[in-house]
Amino acid sequence: MRANITLLAALGTAAAIQPAISQKGPQRPNIIYIMSDDHAYQAISAYGHQIGRIAPTPGIDRIASNGMRFTRCLVTNSISGPCRAVVLTGKYSHLNGFAKNEGQAPFDGSQQTFPKILQAAGYTTAIIGKWHLGSDPTGFDHWEVLPGQGHYYNPEFIDRNGRHTENGYVTELITDKSLKWISGAKASGKPFMLMMHHKAPHREWQPGPRELTLYKDVKFPEPATLFDDYSGRGRAAREQDMTISKTMRIEEDLKLYKDKGKMKNTGLNRMDAGQMEEWNKTYDPIIREFYESGLTGDELVRYKYQRYMQDYLACIAAVDKSVGQLLDYLRSNGLDKNTIVIYASDQGFYLGEHGWFDKRFMFEESYRTPLLIQWPGVVKAGSVNSDIVSNLDFAETILDMAGVSVPADMQGRSMVPVLKGKTPADWRKEHYYHYYEYPAVHSVKRHYGISTERYKLMHFYYDIDEWELYDLKTDPMEMKNVYNDPSYATVRKDLHERLEKLRVQFRDTDESLKSFLPAVK
């Protein structure tokens, strides 16, 4: 795989960056791209879901109120590292060379990325927070990132000088570092681009010291499919390993340690004495009550779901405060009128739908990611867009926002016309997806597929050779595979033809994959 990446870099990088520079005037906008990790759109109150109403996100909602909320932003490969590589390159996984989190060579930083192009066009650039691509960041004047997944409490950071540990909660530290960097960038007089990447709310969902008790006594509504038996789907749904009932761990995930000695091998052992004291005040009563309850069966699943939501949403509350703090800083420092703010997650996430947590599948909850963009003077405040957009478009959009030419070899498309309320007539009507990581954690089988506004066709090709088709209008929860239903024969034929055209368009055919994934049959 490394040889394939190197070839791609050699063919594309040097040639693509040079002609991409087309600067415009001194008032080019600053751009801040905020990305959280595993933040489900269902957990942002601006999206109107029941969870968001109980656990509101007023900071993030301000971006929606001041800009545009996208209801159909789809990812190309629903897993963290690959999504980050797509955002940087504007290319699908098989071309940027980073397709999996596990068993994967580090991201090839020599290839073309949008931060490098912005640098060449006169922007000062930075990334602070989660990186999760193995290699050191390139294309940034400043970078300070978490090693691997990073830790919630007293985390390590890596910069050009090596590793160092800082005391505090990771979301708050990333926020403070970002604001400090913006202050310096403002003083330089150059336009800036910051990628502010939060670890939260990634598993194991360890709430910060200011949010420990936030949802401790709140009961959240259960999703209608919490006890899905997968009878309407194929083997892939039945054979995964990411259920709340079986996969979610009582101790590590829910922090219900009967034996506190087991905590020494987790991120919780990084706490100092004061942090641990506050943690124990919150969790000791919860632990005691749980083991006294003796819950089993469906009642245990219901309990686990509630604990999951309480911790997960508490982590999001800290992220939401961070966004509000950033927006306040921009306003108080005179930066709000000329700074674009983008909020997204690396992909979607299951909050109990189908009995699951995690992501990976092409089913809606993990396939869709939240996307909110404010651009003062350009984007109509409070607007909502339902066009099919993608993380494949982010690099192209940011370059276009900056007045920089978009390289022809990027595979997405600038959303600037969409943001201006003028969606081109030839905007995409379908989206292509490809997931590669199997066998691996959570056991989600490799698959690719196409989604339109109404239909979704998936092929679990490599491992079981099964097709699944869903009608999102009549079956929005994706409970019944209608691939073999004769009444969908015309739809099925049309989707097959469109899918093959997309595979050719994006150079993701069976033949091209042989060099990228030698294990493909």
What pLDDT is recorded for position 18? 41
Q: State the residue for tokens 């007539």.
A: 425
Q: Do 358 and 456 have their domain in common?
A: no
Asked whether residue 9 is domain-assigned, the answer is yes
Kind and range of the H or E element at 434? strand 430-435
CA distance 86 to 73: 14
Is there a domain that residue 225 lies in?
Answer: no
- Can you give the pLDDT of all 521 residues of the chain as single tens digits? 333 333 333 333 433 444 344 444 458 999 999 999 999 999 999 999 999 999 999 999 999 999 999 999 999 999 999 999 999 999 999 999 999 998 889 999 999 999 999 999 999 999 999 999 999 999 999 999 999 999 999 999 999 999 999 999 999 999 999 999 999 999 999 999 999 999 999 999 999 999 999 999 999 999 999 999 999 999 999 999 999 999 999 999 999 999 988 888 788 999 999 999 999 999 999 999 999 999 999 999 999 999 999 999 999 999 999 999 999 999 999 999 999 999 999 999 999 999 999 999 999 999 999 999 999 999 999 999 999 999 999 999 999 999 999 999 999 999 999 999 999 999 999 999 999 999 999 999 999 999 999 999 999 988 899 999 999 999 999 999 999 999 999 999 999 999 999 999 999 987 767 666 654 44
Q: Give me Rg for the CA atoms of the chain.
A: 22
Pair (340, 280) in one structural domain: no
Looking at 396, 422, 448, the residue that finishes a domain is 422
Residue 7 in 3-state DSSP? helix
Say whether both 260 and 171 belong to one domain: no
pLDDT tens digits for 316-368? 999 999 999 999 999 999 999 999 999 999 999 999 999 999 999 999 999 99
Q: Which sign does the torsion angle of CA 277, 281, 286, 287 carry?
A: positive
Residue at a domain's end among 372, 387, 422: 422
Compute the CA torsion angle 87, 507, 364, 391 (nearest 10 deg): 20
Residues 59 and 150 in one domain: yes
Measured distance CA(394)–CA(115) in Å, rounded: 12
Could you give the CA distance from residue 371 to residue 135 in angstroms, rounded to a whole number? 27
Sheet holding 430-435, edge to edge: 430-435, 447-452, 455-460, 466-471
Answer yes or no: are the C-beta atoms of 105 and 134 closer than 8 Å. yes
In a domain, 461, yes or no: yes
The sign one gets for the Cα dihedral 502, 73, 106, 520 is: negative
Domain membership of residue 218 (yes or no) is: no
Digit-coded pLDDT (tens) for 270-329? 999 999 999 999 999 999 999 999 999 999 999 999 999 999 999 999 999 999 999 999
CB 314 within 8 A of CB 212: yes
Burial of 332 (0-12, 13-18, 19+ CB in 10 A): exposed
Ranges of H-type helices in 18-96: 50-54, 58-66, 80-89, 93-96
Q: Which helix (H) or strand (E) holds 339?
A: strand 339-345
Tokens of 20: 């991409």
Q: Are residues 171 and 89 in the same domain?
A: yes
Q: Write the CATH number for 464.
A: 3.30.1120.10
235 belongs to a structural domain: no
Same domain, 193 and 259: no
The answer on 332 and 295 residing in a single domain is no
DSSP 8-state code for residue 423: -
Where does a domain end: 399, 422, 445? Answer: 422
In angstroms, the Cα distances linking 149 to 166, 263, 327 are: 16, 18, 26
* Same domain for 367 and 493: no
**346 shares a domain with 294:** no
Phi, psi for 261 (deg, rounded to 5): -60, -25
Note the pLDDT of residue 516: 62
Q: Is the residue at 447 inside a domain?
A: yes
Res 520: pLDDT? 44
What single-letter amino acid sits at 67?
Answer: G
According to DSSP, the residues that pair with 275 across neighbouring strands are none
Residue 224 counted as domain residue = no
Long-range own/partner contacts, residues 153-162 (CB < 8 A, 24 or more apart): 153/206, 153/267, 153/268, 153/270, 153/271, 153/275, 154/270, 154/271, 154/272, 154/275, 155/199, 155/270
Between the two ends of the chain, the Cα-to-Cα distance in Å is: 16
**Phi, psi angle pair for 220, to nearest 5°:** -95, 145
Q: How many other β-carbons are positioned within 10 Å of the β-carbon of residue 163? A: 9
pTM comes to 0.94
- Does the residue 214 lie in any domain? no
Torsion angles phi and psi, residue 95, rounded to 5: -100, -35
Q: Indicate the burial class of 508 (C-beta count within 10 angstroms; 0-12, 13-18, 19 or more).
A: buried
Range of the domain at 336: 2-16+39-206+312-422
252: its two tokens: 């590590």
C-alpha to C-alpha distance for 303 and 307, rounded to whole angstroms: 6
User: Which phi and psi (to 5°) does residue 294 adopt?
Assistant: 65, 35
As for how many domains the chain has, the answer is 3
52 and 193 housed in the same domain? yes
Q: Choose among 454, 455, 433, 437: nearest CA to 446.
A: 437
